[in-house]
Amino acid sequence: MGKNRHAGWLFIGAIGVVFGDLGTSPLYALQSIFHVSGLSLTPSDVRGIISLILWSVTLIVTIKYVTLLMRADNHGEGGIMALVGLVRHAEKSKRRVILFTAAGLIGISLFYGDGIVTPAISVLSAIEGTKLVFPAATPLIVPISLLILTGLFVLQARGTSAIGQLFGPIMITWFVVSAAGGLYQIMQYPDILASLLPTTALSFVFEYPLQSFIALSAVILALTGAEALYADMGHFGRTPIRWAWLCMIFPSLVLTYLGQGALVSNDPSTIVSAYYLMFPEWLYLPVLILATFATLIASQAVISGVFSLTWQAVQLGFLPRLTIQHTSRHEFGQIYVPLLNWIMFALVIVIVISFGSSANLAAMFGMAVSGTLLIDTIFLIIVMRKIWHSPLPYIVLVAIFILGLELLFVTASSTKLFAGAWVPVVVAIVSFTVLSTWYKGHQIIQRKRQEEEGTLADFVDRLHRAKAPRVKGYAVYLGHHAGNAPMALHATLDQLHELHEQVVVVTVETADAAHVPERSRIIFDELGYPDDGISHLTLRFGYKDIANIPHALELARSKSTEVDFNPLTATYFISVTQPIIVHNRRMAKWRKQLYLFMDRNADNSSKYFKLPLDRTIEMRSFLEL
């Protein structure tokens, strides 16, 4: 009984968190398509567009994500970082690993571009419904949207655990209401059911090839949030997400889009607000309120996704250490990144003021979404070939129908570059520059650090020659390379001319997996020199784990005799490296300056690894960049 109840809550939670963006796309998708394509509103054109939407959703969401990609889990986790981890682990060629890592960085960057557009277009599209209820309030649409968005970003610091419990019931209500409105309109104009046939979409494409191509730049709006199906797999599990999509979300979206098509076929003037006009006039206000809540949920899911992805990028060394706050003591993964929150807030506000309506914002959405979908499919094909060893015909089918369609999406969206699509592209370019610069600079510093450190064996020989006095107690030194002597260890000998009787060198590794079980977190090895009071161990964390070193050592102490000291009373030493820019060809000078700026503003290791500040000593050293 308890297991079934837990599965039920996962099902409801998945509907509330995972599908908000996909579920609110009918608010703006159809009118945006006709707005950008210039198509007439004849019944045959409407049927063709609805068929394009439905079969795009079927191919990309149902077949690609729900059927295929959700099988490519990294220890139960999904998303672009999970794919990067899977492929990096399976690939032996160093050059290809670098190439795949770069592709992953592009995917992350595009998701950042998507993250600033979703809150703007979602909230605006919902509030635009006030024109039907209170026509005099039309000039207030932008101010009201700005007020709601401000509240949304201000509340991020408080976390979403309380309102998160309401997400599922609200979104279930949204999907049921949307499906009911759509079904009512279908009954008025059953000819729209012809859109369910793939031949309707194909006939439309062959009859109007140019208009169909342009329309694809807005059809992509019906797919916004598709990546969340895969990215949130670790939170809810594969089965609840699949059942939620197949049993509720997909049928509801099909009925909603068919209902909108039926409505517009009967009365082309309703295209201005096809979603709201599916309902009787007396329901406009309740549906408007419901739509506002639904779009806030969709926006919240995207913002939380950006925070989560940033945390993973920090853990994997793609970003400097940022201030990251965990907003819930009971629910794992609820985090808040203050710097990123306010950057996103500023960009969203500027976008809303600059573009002013969901129709104007539609043009900028396609590039970020289609690019993210394309990156996922490229990784899917690599996984099918290298990990699953799928038959070649299956891979070819995916390449023709899914990769081919997404290439059309990207190409069509690029035609809107000067109509607003440049905004998420610029955000993605800036994000990629930051990510790649930090990653490359960090790799250079790591190599220089490794050269300076030398091996533990060399340090022990040096210790014997120096005959430095040993003071009582335990000292924990954070290492960066297994078997090497941390630079702080050298600095202690050089500057303090003494060493603790017992020295524990702890090397922290971040796995390509999202989580490392606590029982597998600590690795005792033979790299140390116990006769000289120097031991070595490795702590492994996943890219979604909290790297709390004292807690991990305390856990190891309670379960093993290998750790025979109290981590809370030990003294911690960390190496703080300060890069110095020198003339070489490793990186462009401007990128070195950017890396230096990020390094100076990054959180220190003591805070990041949750070390006791009153028992932590930082030893500074300089390395050439």
In the chain, domain spans = 2-439, 454-624
Residues 390 and 428: their CA atoms lie apart, in Å, by 33
The answer on pLDDT for 234 being more than 90 is no
The answer on pLDDT for 352 being more than 50 is yes
Find the mean pLDDT for residues 32-46. Answer: 85
Phi, psi of 29 (to 5 degrees): -65, -50
Nearest alpha carbon to residue 436 among 424, 447, 446, 428:
428
Find the mean pLDDT for residues 380-408. Answer: 90
pLDDT at 6: 56
The answer on pLDDT for 175 being more than 80 is yes
pLDDT at 130: 81
Name the token pair of 576.
Answer: 């703080």
Q: Which CATH topology does 2-439 take?
A: Amino acid/polyamine transporter I (1.20.1740)
pLDDT at 315: 77
The answer for residues whose C-beta is within 8 angstroms of residue 361's C-beta and 6 or more apart is 117, 120, 121, 124, 351, 355, 420
Tell me the pLDDT tens digit for each residue of 529-551.
777 788 888 888 887 778 888 88
Cα–Cα distances (Å) from 557 to 194, 548, 553, 590, in that order, read: 67, 14, 6, 47
Give the pLDDT band (50/70/90) at residue 1.
very low
pLDDT at 277: 92
Find the mean pLDDT for residues 220-244. Answer: 81
pLDDT at 560: 64
The answer on pLDDT for 177 being more than 90 is yes
Residue appearing with tokens 């209820």:
133
Whole-number average pLDDT of the chain: 84
What is the DSSP secondary-structure string of 82-151? HHHHHHHHH---HHHHHHHHHHHHHHHHHHHHHHHHHHHHHHHHHHTTHHHH-GGGGGGHHHHHHHHHHH
pLDDT at 157: 74
Residues 287 and 284: their CA atoms lie apart, in Å, by 5
The answer on pLDDT for 385 being more than 70 is yes
Burial of 396 (0-12, 13-18, 19+ CB in 10 A): exposed
Residues 292 and 526: their CA atoms lie apart, in Å, by 60
Looking only at Cα atoms, what is the longest distance across the chain?
93
Name the token pair of 141.
Answer: 């649409």
pLDDT at 162: 47
More confident residue, 252 or 122: 252
